[in-house]
Every structure is written in structure tokens, then in C-alpha cells.
Amino acid sequence: MNLYYGANLLIYAGVDIIACLALNLQFGVSGIVNFSFIVFQAVGAYTAAVLSMPNDKAFGYDFQLYVGGYQLPFPIPWIGGAVAGGLLAVPVGLVVLRKLRADYQAIALLVTSVIANTVITNARPFLNGAAGLALVPPPLADQIDPNTAPYQYFYVGLTILAVVLVLFVVNRVVNSPYGRSLRAMREREIAAMAIGKNPVRLKMTAFIVGGVIAGFSGALLVGFIQFWAPSVWLYPETIILFAAIIVGGRGNNVGAILGALLVPVGFEEVTRLLNNAPLGLPAGVVPALEWVAIGLLIMGFLWFRPDGVRPEPRRVFEGGPDIE
Amino acid sequence: MNLLVEAFGFGLVSMSVIAIAAVGFTMQFGITNNINLAYGEVMISSAYVAYYVNRAGISIWIGMVAGALFGAVFSFLLNRIVYSPFIRKGTSQIGMVIVSLAVSLMIANLLLPIVGYDYVSYQNSTGELIHIGSIILTTNQIGIMAVSVALMVLIHGLLKYTRLGKAMRATAANPTLARNCGIPTQRVIDAVWLITGALCGLAGVVAAMNSDSFAIVNGATFLITVLAAAVLGGAGQPYGAMIGAVLIGLITELSAAIWSPEYKEVVAFGVLVLVMVLRPQGLLARRGAMAAAG
């Protein structure tokens, strides 16, 4: 296993863990079925890309068409990505989360995800359409050469820092009284309203905080892969993250991390092995079967172990009545 | 101006196609209380069944029947093997949405190695051109419209004048009460999946006929148009879905003429967002998107 491969694996794992923590906050803790999660990651990635790239008339970049191009120094593009994720969550949340029933929210968000991808693909001058943005400058490329071993260590270090930061934030949210309100709303919205909680406000906050973290994960990823296009954020990508949360265990951060390592990272590795193995399958069959496996995994877990590998711990208060 | 009149003609065909699909979807949802996100994929699978029948040299109108039969059997089995066991296990409504999305993903990807990525189209003559004022339609398009109108009349008759239709409406209104009154709700639900599955399959074939060519990726775009029409009319309301189909069909074709055909689904989506903001219960429903689940 060489260094570049190892770094690649660790950074993808970090991005998946961050994404799963954010989705767990929305889906696992608050009960919002955010089928357009990947759009928030994408908006963060695009924002970070256009903030760090030079203008689209600049030498070497003039084969693409995009808005912006400000060449801002690190860490502004990352902050911009996180802010963009949060900003996008405001209008989407206001349309979807206020009046609609939970299952309608889910389909509205799913449709949003499909349409957002269609629009970006077709509107080329905006973000270079289907071809996507290439040659996104990696952070601090002027200080350390990105094609060297130290840079790989540096980026892995940045990723670990990012994971720790996000984990700290979501742990604080989930374990705070505020997290308790979120769980109360998830369990029984009407009861939560009866004790004075405002579900729309709770959902909006969880949606925006999740959007910020999702945007941040996109910025982190695009800085490393230096490329972003509609084909990497099709709506099934969100389903992988849902599979991760369902497998890991809804509603707890340890489960989300476990799920991120088992599902997206695990599948990535299995594909690599299958592609290298001489099976003689025609191209495209392995990825297709992988999606089938993801579907089976979701259904299998919902059937046999709906609480996941690590179920959410029951929170019991000392001195409270015994419920069993 | 002529352009708009022509677009109106296409709109008539479009709304006929959407109506078949949306009525099937909305009945499935209204009676079984299950949002079947795999609907678009069942449509596209049926379109492929008709494609293979058609390629064997058989007329596409017979292929349409094959597609409808396939859709009926497929949907019936989908409910029996996947949805119904999950519902009986007590999976929440949100859990069912996730299950149906997983099913949709699986159908598309099981189909992919069989039919490939490429766009295909049916082998059939488009028929003669018929001029009605400045609207120009092919005999095929008029055939699609006739099929659609006939189906709508049949659905109306089924729901209004038959015992099965009455049982369906009773099951939709209150399944427990219906069962207590001696209605065999399980058999009614089986019948619903067969009937709506046939509508779904048939809609897939006519949608594929109406577009020049189709591929697996169209499953998702079919679903969006169907959802837009069904939600616009008020989910679970067959007559609402018909009105929704008329509006969505007209709006998308007019926008394609004025703006760009690439954005048809985007316009349908815009209508969907407007409905969800302004009238989430849809045009006809008394209780729809706003009512509590269950």
C-alpha cells in the first residue's frame, strides 16, 4: 500500500465521516429525511472551487466557463463552502420543512436533488455544465508542492483536524438540551409542541447546521480531488449516506462514524478489488451490482436490524420511573 | 403565435401520457398509503418490455398491452414481496419511502446490465399527419390521446359504478373500518396494485412512444413529472391527478416552445414547489400533504 493510496483512502473516509455526522444530525437525531443532502455537499464544493480558482479567462483555465474565480487564500474557500451550504439550507428548508408532512418532505427533497443536478448540467456558463470544474487549486499549494509526500501528510492532517472539529460540534449539539428537544420532536412532534417546542424552528436549525457541515465536507473533498462535476453528486450518492446511517445506527454519532467506514469506504474498496480481479465482467456491471447491493443492504438492515450495528443508547434518567 | 398553437397540440398529447401515469400513481398512494418511488422505474422497465416485443416485429400497440401486463405483474409482486411485508412489520411511513427509493435504485441497476446505457426507440411508422387548424398531430399521437381518454372513462366507471371501485374508495378512506365492514381489504389492495401497475406499465410505453428515444435515466424524469401532476391535483385523488396532468402537460409543452425543451422537468418542478408553498394539500384534496401521516 503506497502513501498516495493510503492518503486517498483516509481523506475519503474523513469526508464520508463528516457527511454522515451531518446527515445523522438531520435524519438520525431530528428525523428530517434529507434526500437532497448531496446537493449541500455539492454547493460547498462548487463554492470552494470558484473562490480558490482564478478567473475563467486566466491562462490555463480558459477552456472552462464559470462564475467567480477570486483566487482567495486558504482557508477562505473552505469557510465559503460551509457558509454556502448553510445559506442554501435556508430557502430549501423554508419551502420544504414548514407545512409539509414528513413523507412529502422526503419526496420534495429527492426531486430537488434531481432537478438541481439537471439545471447545473444544462446551464453550462454557470459552473461549466456536465464537464464540471477542473484544476481546482489545492489549499496552500503555493507553500507546499501538492505532488509531494509531505503534502499528503499535510492534507491527511487537515482532514483529521476537520473530523475532530465537526465531531466536537455535533457531539455538543446532540448531547445538549437542544439535542434533547430534537430527539423529542423526532419521537413525537405533537408532544414536543405541547411542551412548548417549535418544531419548524428546531428543524430549520438542524437543517442549516447540517447544511453548513455538508458544505464544509464538499470544500474539503474538492480541495483534494481538484475536480467537481454533476456526475459526482447524482442523487443516489445521498442514498449511500443513508445506507451508512441505517447500517451504523441512527441517532448516535458513533454509529454514524461506524456506518461511514463500513458503507461508503467499504464499498469503495470492494469496487477497487473487484475491478482489479480478473472476473471478465463487462464494464459497468460491477458498479450497477454495487447499487443493487446498497439497496439490499438498506432493506436487509431495515428488516433484520432497524437500529443498526450500534443502536442509539437509551437515555435514562436516574430516579425516573422504570419503563420496560 | 403559431408556435404556441403547435405547442398546445403537443400539450394535448403530453397531458394524455401524464394522466395515465399520474392517475395510477395517485391511486396507488391514496388506497395503499404507500408512496412508491419505484414507479418511474417500473414505467421504464415496461417501456423496455414493449421495446423487445416491438423489436420482434410486432406492432407497438400490442407491445403496449405487453407493457401493461408486465407493469401489472411487476407492481403486484413488488407489493407482495417487498412493500407489504415491510408494512406488516410496522415499518414507519418514512421507512417505507426509503425502502421504495432503495427498490427504485435496484430496479434501475438490475436493468442496466440487461438493456445497456444506450438510448433506444420503437420501430413504428409515426402515421399520417392530421391537421386540425394549425395543430399538426400524427395518427399515433391521436391514438395515444384516444387510449388515455378511454382509460380515464374506465377509471371513472370503475370507481363510481362497480363494487370493486366502491371497496377501493372505502379502503382509501379508512382501511380498518372497511375491513370491519366485511370488505376483503387485502384482496382490494392486490387489485389496486394490479390495476395501477397496468396503468403504470402502459404509461411507460406511451411516454416512450411520445419521446423520440428513451433510456434508463428517463425513469427519474418520468417520476418527477408524475409526482408534479399527482401533488398538484392533491395526492390520492384520481380526478385531481387528471387535472394536474392537464395543467402540467400544457405548462411543460408551452415552456418548451417558449424557452427550452431541456428544462421541461425543471418547469414541472417549479410548479411542484409553488404548489407545496401555496397549497400543499393540492387542488382537490381536503386532506393531503398537510394531514398527519397514517
Domain boundaries, chain B: 2-218
A127 grid coordinates: 459552473
A92: nearest CA partner in chain B: B273
CA diameter of chain A: 71
On chain B, the residues whose CB falls within 8 A of the CB of A236 are: 105
pLDDT, tens digit, 9 for 90 and up, residues A214-230:
999 999 999 999 999 99
What pLDDT is attached to residue A322? Answer: 62
On chain A, the residues whose CB falls within 8 A of the CB of B39 are: none
Enter the pTM of the model.
Answer: 0.91
On chain A, the residues whose CB falls within 8 A of the CB of B85 are: 303
- The A-side interface with B (CB below 8 A) comprises 31, 33, 35, 95-96, 99-104, 106-108, 110-112, 114-115, 118-119, 122, 235-236, 239, 242, 246, 282, 284-285, 288-292, 294-296, 298-299, 302-303, 306
pLDDT, tens digit, 9 for 90 and up, residues B64-83:
999 999 999 999 999 999 99
What pLDDT is attached to residue A200? Answer: 92
Closest in A106, A239, A288 to B102, CB measured: A239
Q: Is the pLDDT of residue A142 over 80?
A: no
B274 grid coordinates: 409553488
Mutate to test the interface with B, among A92, A107, A203, A281 (most CBs of B within 10 A): A107
Closest in B102, B273, B280 to A295, CB measured: B102
Average pLDDT over residues B163-189: 91
B114: nearest CA partner in chain A: A285
pLDDT, tens digit, 9 for 90 and up, residues A34-87:
999 999 999 999 999 999 988 878 777 878 888 878 888 888 999 999 999 999
Residue predicted with more confidence, A295 or A286: A295
What pLDDT is attached to residue B292? Answer: 36
A115 grid coordinates: 432537478
Mutate to test the interface with B, among A97, A103, A299 (most CBs of B within 10 A): A103
Q: How confident is the model at residue A139 (pLDDT cuts 50, 70, 90)?
A: confident
Average pLDDT over residues B269-280: 84
Q: Quickly list DSSP for B86-138.
A: HHHTT--HHHHHHHHHHHHHHHHHHHHHHH-SS-B--------EEEETTEEEE
Average pLDDT over residues B270-288: 75
On chain A, the residues whose CB falls within 8 A of the CB of B96 are: 103
ipTM, two decimals: 0.89
How far B91 CA lies from chain A's nearest CA (Å)? 8
Specify the range with the lowest mean pLDDT, choosing from A64-73, A218-227, A314-323, B222-231. Answer: A314-323
Specify the range with the lowest mean pLDDT, choosing from A240-249, A269-278, B170-179, B238-247. Answer: A269-278
pLDDT, tens digit, 9 for 90 and up, residues B106-129:
999 999 888 888 898 888 776 778
On chain A, the residues whose CB falls within 8 A of the CB of B289 are: 99-101, 104
What pLDDT is attached to residue B285? Answer: 63
Q: Is there a contact between B95 and A302 if contact means CB atoms under 8 Å apart?
A: yes
CA diameter of chain B: 58
Closest in B105, B269, B277 to A294, CB measured: B105
Residue predicted with more confidence, A60 or A296: A296
A150: exposed, middle or buried (Cβ count in 10 Å: 0-12, 13-18, 19+): exposed
Q: How confident is the model at residue A266 (pLDDT cuts 50, 70, 90)?
A: confident
Q: Which residues pair with B138 in a beta bridge?
A: B129
Closest by CA to B275, choosing from B227, B237, B242, is B227
Q: Is there a contact between B35 and A100 if contact means CB atoms under 8 Å apart?
A: no
